[in-house]
Structures are given as structure tokens and as C-alpha cells.
Structure 1
């Protein structure tokens, strides 16, 4: 018994020593390979950020309009249940891209393509880069385009730049647009339109008087503290009120957030960060603006890329195919890359719950009538850059958080957006062009 007891003690001691030695070895291995484990974690975070970024880009940069022909007539196509632009984005997910070939820069051939009944057209509100569409650098020059021509073939589609009237053919692998073509043939919403050259783009003019629906939404607005936390953080933030009814929150001299006080009855915020300017391509500006849109924490469900001009990138909510102007002349978010600062002007109103359509409509004249009235009011036709139908927000007094979306004509001139009614007012009052450019 005594010998047996000593043998057990010896085995226990050996086992304990082995466990201690193994622990020391593992500890040394972990400490000497900390960079390896950190790299795994960093790679995982980078991968997650990359997927998140691509998801946001896919949500924001979606074509917003669709066009097709029937019996020789061009129509604006819309179907609430079968959204053509979203269907196009879904069908691109498994597509691989081949060669990109420049076909033509002839204005005549470009206009022939615009009016070719064999193609379904999808357009962005303004030009974007080819690499942004493909989510990878497929071209060194990163050509710009505005519209996509879906051909009868699944082996390629065409991209068109309104500004340069250049057409590119893009080879496709594993593409199938048969369902998109079917949606286009059977779209419930059809409005006769035509393409008209304005400034440096081809804009859609409605050729008939149309009855547009009025929609209503319950809204939600985040408080100042929400945006202060997201944009400035929670430490070392100071606040000071000005005499004009604004509160400015400052992280330091270089980073600030201006918020409206309640008495102003506005919802427009301005975030600014001063930093040394750098040379950026259009694609880089578009991608950088995506990061700020996500950082704001506003609902991204209906947000879409809306405009790009003079270094500013704008995003708007799109409801039933039309953009929403949450204030008199601005969409939801505008990111401006100035010479020595980055500025983000945004509206904190989130469209939350749609109210069932109650039959209200607004009757709008043909687009040419609107342009004619603007010219008669004193606005130069050469200054008109875009003419669109969009929603103006109107407060519904039956409920604190209820708004109505009223369809009206919006016009871009002198790189500014205003309703057609506002432009008529400015034109008839004799406001100078310099004042118009400055927005006074």
C-alpha cells in the first residue's frame, strides 16, 4: 500500500509539471505571436467594414428612373410593386464584367441611341463613375456615365455620358436581364416623355398634363445630442448659442456642428471640419461622401444619390420614384468638399410610416410650359440645367409629426435647386444673376 501511494504521488507530480510547462509554452507562443492574432482581428474588421461599405454604396447608388418605348413612344416607366432600378441592381449581384470599349462620341449617334426602341434605359440623376458601378477598378481612367442601355443581349450593355455624348459597351458574364425586360414591358405606370438637351445633359420633359399623387408620412426627428455623439463624440464638446437662434457644438476649433433652435422651426444642421485640402477625383468624392452619409445615422432605406456639382454631392429620399426636398431648396444631405473644409448640410427628418393614399392629387402642366413661364419671368433659358418633378414637404396640422408630400416642378439653374414657383418669383422681381448665384 505504501509503495502504491508513493507511485500515485509521483504520477500526480509529473502531470502537474507537464501542465505547467505546457501553459508556459502556450503563453510564450501567444506573446511572441501577438501581431499574428491582431492581424487576424484587424483583417476580420476590415472585411466587415468592406462589406458594410459595399452594401451602403449599393443602396445609395441605384438608378432612379427607367424609360422604354411602346409603339414608337418613349415612356417614363414606374411600377410600385416591380421596381425596375432595384431589379437591375439585384440582377447585377452575380455579374462579372469583361472589357469596356468606347463605341462613339458622336452627338448624332448618342441621340440615336436615346431614341432607339430596342433598349430599356435606366438613369442616374447625375453622372457617376464606371468603377463605382462595378465596385472595383475595371478601368484606369474611370470613365463617367449617366445612363445605362439594356440591350436585347445578356452579354453586354451600354453606358452613356450625357456630357460628352460618349457611349461605352461593357462585356458581361453571367448576366440575365430577362425579368427586367419583362417588368419594363408590363410596367403599370407609363407617362409619355421626350428627351430635351439642356445645358450639358438630356433631361426628361413630360409632354402631357399629368395628375400626380399626394402622399403623407409620419416622421421622426433625432435630437441634437444624437448627432453631437455621432459626429463629435462624447468628450470635450462645448456648446454656445448665437443671437440668430442657432446652437453651435464644438469639439475644437476645427470641428463643429450647428443646430437650429426650436423657435426657428427648421431642421437643417451643418457639420463642418477644417482640414488641408487634397486633390480628389469624382469617384473619390462620391465614395468619401458615402462614409459621411453613414456616419450621420439617418435612415438609408429610401436615400439615393441625387446630384453632383461644384464639389458637392447630394442625396435625397425617393418616394414612388420621385425625390423629396425636405427644405425649400435642399434634399436630405449635401456633402461639400471645399478648399479647406468638409461641410455636411443635412435635415434630421426621417420619413417613418407611410399613410394610405387618400386620393389627393396635384395637376402639373407639361414641362415645356414650365420652361416657357420661367423664361417669361426673366430666367435665362441657357441657365436652366434640369427640370424635374419632385416632392415639396408641407406640414399637416392634423398631427404634429405628419407631413404631406406635394408634387411640384423643381428647377436647377445657376447650380442651385429651387421650385419653379420660386424661380418665377426671383425672375419677375429682377434679382441680379450675382445674387442668384450666391443664393440671396
Structure 2
């Protein structure tokens, strides 16, 4: 009986000694360390990969009050779009009805509806993609293209979808639900910028009604190595060929000698992955965006602030940008964060940057003042630019290298103008002559 009294403590002591011994072996064995590192990396990859509902969420929210006044809800302390998106997960008994097409009057009647929040995309998506945002509630609806989502704040039985291309208006009837959380968003600490939705060159565009002050930022960037992407995009593929390397001036090209090629430009810090295997050659917006998202996952970049920006149907190029306070980042060449392109049934291309914003650092710079939309357009025309060649204007952040460190960038607020299909900063256009 006395021996049994000490049996459990002795057993526990032995177990602790064995555990400590095994830990020492594991932590001092390089092979085990490598396995542990790979396991940690896999866990990290799972954490940075965001579901499609994050990547394909709308990028801008506009509130229309009871008097019809509109304001852009700017993300500062609160991500307004994300908070609104959280309220879109309880729709039931959904039914879609086409209210009109090619009617500007009906389109603007719904877009400017008092007591509503309008969520905007830069480029149209499909209802199937929006269904991912609403936790699959819309997946059985007709798969129309959509540019904007209008959520009434005083009617819990209707939602409206708008398509800028043909001024289509779709009404979705849903089972009555609470609007309490949606209206709560409007009471959060959100910056409001007076704005209005107007026609420009025959297409709807958001006008900022007065000059706006914007906060510059410094960002610590994540400088990823070439080896990381070689491992993700070439070594993990089905091909059993050895990877070869060719170097020429600023260009380093890795290839599996068969169907995959990965090139890096050391001067621009850009990577281009070319896949020459057979693909399904997607044609619809839904299938293109689905396939593009899978390529993002393969790439393994952090997607916390990365959002879908545009889909060019002519070149079948999907582009994504990193957003700060709800505003997109533009680099000097107009490039964003990632772009994917389907060339044909035998070729796809993925372009990305090895440097991406990671951690914001307080900037000592004062606020930048940007002109109202109408003022910016008027000044561009006065400088000799043709209004018909201006396709869009939106506020964004310009990427500039910081002279004090290679690991820092400056994000400078500016208007960005889609002129003849290319995004260029307003400042560079104005100062060109």
C-alpha cells in the first residue's frame, strides 16, 4: 500500500523526463527542425489564405441618408465594408426579379435611394461571386453581372443589384430580417466624404464633391525571396523534371524544361509565372474569377488587404490591389499587387511583386489635399487631355521608395486616372507639360 502511494508521482516524473529527452533530440536535430519549419510554414500559409468572400468583397461603401445626401464611408478605425458584409449572411427565401435594363432613370432611382447603403465594385462581378460574399445564399439565382449592391436600411425584405454596363436593375426579395446590425455600422467611428453618383462619358462614376484631405503613410514591406516562389510554383507541381536556371542581365528564369516557367526581374522586383499546360480556357466572369483565385492561393501571398480590382474582358486579365483605408495602391507603372491572365487554352500567366506592404508606420508628413472630382477633370482638360479618353477617376495611394531604407515605402495620396485604358497618377499627368 505504501508503494502504491508513490506509484503515480514516480510515473509522472518518468513521463516528464522522457518528454524532456525527446524534446532535446527534436530541437537539436537539424532534420527535425526543417520538418518543424515546413509544418510552421504550412500553418502560416493556411492563415494568410483568405476565402473568396474576402478577396471578392466590394471595395467601397456609400451611404445615402433620408434626404438623399450621399457620403463615402472611409475605412479608418473601422473597416466599414467588412462590417456591412457581416450583416449579409442571414438572407433566406431569395427570389430575383429584373426591374429594368437600359433605363438610366430607373438605375439612378435605385442607386440614389434614400436610406440605403451602396456597395461598389471597380469592375463587374457575377451574382455567383456575390453569393460567396453572402455565404452562398444567391448561388441558385440567375448569374447576371453586377457592379453595385444596394442595401436599404429601412426595408428588410429587398436588396437591389445594379449593372453599370447596361443600367440593369435587379430586385432580390428575401425573408424579413433584422436591420439592427446594418444600421449600427452607420453609428461607428467612420469618416464620411461627401459624394454623389453621376454620369461621366455615359457611365456611372462616383464624384467627390469637395476637396479632401488624405493621410500619407509609411509601410514596412515584406521582401519575399525568389526561392519561396520557385518552391511554391515549380517544385510542388506534377512535373518531375529538374528545374533549370538561366541568367541574363536583370532577368533570372527558372524552368521545368517542359511547361512551366518562372522569371524574376531584379530591377523591378517583379515575378512572372507562365503555365503552358492545357487549361479549360474559361470564358465566363465566374469561371475566370474562380480560376484566378486558385492562382492566388498557389502563390501564397498574404491576402488580408488584397482585393479584386478589375477584370479586362478583352485581354482576360484579372488584377488585384492592396487597399489602405479602402483606397487602392498604385505603383509607378500602374501595376497593383497581382494579375492573372488566360491567354488561350494552352497558356496562362501570373504576374506579382516580390515586395508587398505589410506593417503601417506613423508618417510625420502632413495631410495631402486632393481636389474635388469636377476640379480634377476640369484641370486635366485644360492641360490638353481629352475628356472622352478619361474612363474613370478614383482616389488611391502611390507607391514611392523611401530613401532611408529598402524595407520602407511611402504611400502618397493622389487621384488616379484611367486614361486610354491605363491607370496614371493625376499629379504626373498635370505636371507633364
Please state which band the TM-score falls in when normalised by the shorter chain. 0.7 to 0.9
Q: For the Cα contact (< 8 Å) 2:310–2:318, is it kept in 1?
A: yes
Gaps of 5+ in 2: 1-45
Match of 2:303 in 1: 300
Instruction: State the distance in 2 between where 1:256 and 1:72 align.
Output: 54
Structure-2 change in CA distance of 1:279 and 1:398 (3 Å):
closer
Instruction: State the distance in 2 between where 1:175 and 1:239 align.
Output: 59
Match of 1:214 in 2: 216
Instruction: State the distance in 2 between where 1:305 and 1:159 align.
Output: 18
Question: Displacement, 1:420?
Answer: 2.1
Equivalent residue runs for 1:250-261 within 5 Å: 250-261=255-266
The 3-state SS of whatever aligns with 1:112 is helix
Gaps of 5+ in 1: 1-50, 429-440
Question: Displacement, 1:86?
Answer: 0.5
Match of 1:382 in 2: 388
Question: Displacement, 1:376?
Answer: 3.2
Please give the TM-score of this superposition, normalised by the length of structure 1: 0.78
Q: For the Cα contact (< 8 Å) 2:49–2:301, is it kept in 1?
A: no
Structure-2 change in CA distance of 1:229 and 1:147 (3 Å):
same
1:253-295 superposed Cα distances (whole Å, 9 cap, x missing partner): 432111012xx2x222111112456352111001111001111
Match of 1:130 in 2: 127
Structure-2 change in CA distance of 1:58 and 1:175 (3 Å):
farther
Q: How many residues align?
A: 373
Equivalent residue runs for 1:43-192 within 5 Å: 56-70=51-65, 71-96=67-92, 98-105=94-101, 106-135=103-132, 136=136, 138-139=139-140, 141-151=142-152, 152-173=154-175, 175-185=177-187, 187-192=189-194
Q: For the Cα contact (< 8 Å) 1:97–1:134, is it kept in 2?
A: no
Equivalent residue runs for 1:266-277 within 5 Å: 266-276=268-278
Please give the TM-score of this superposition, normalised by the length of structure 2: 0.80
Compare CA radii of gyration and give the structure with the larger one.
1
Question: Displacement, 1:78?
Answer: 2.1
The structure whose residues are more often helix, as a share, is 1
Instruction: State the distance in 1 between where 2:419 and 2:365 align.
Output: 33
Structure-2 change in CA distance of 1:97 and 1:330 (3 Å):
farther
Question: Displacement, 1:397?
Answer: 2.2
Asked if residue 371 in structure 1 is aligned to residue 377 in structure 2, the reply is yes
Structure-2 change in CA distance of 1:333 and 1:154 (3 Å):
same
1:25-73 superposed Cα distances (whole Å, 9 cap, x missing partner): xxxxxxxxxxxxxxxxxxxxxxxxxx99995201101111111134442
Match of 1:416 among 422, 425, 428: 422
Question: Displacement, 1:248?
Answer: 1.1
Structure-2 change in CA distance of 1:53 and 1:198 (3 Å):
farther
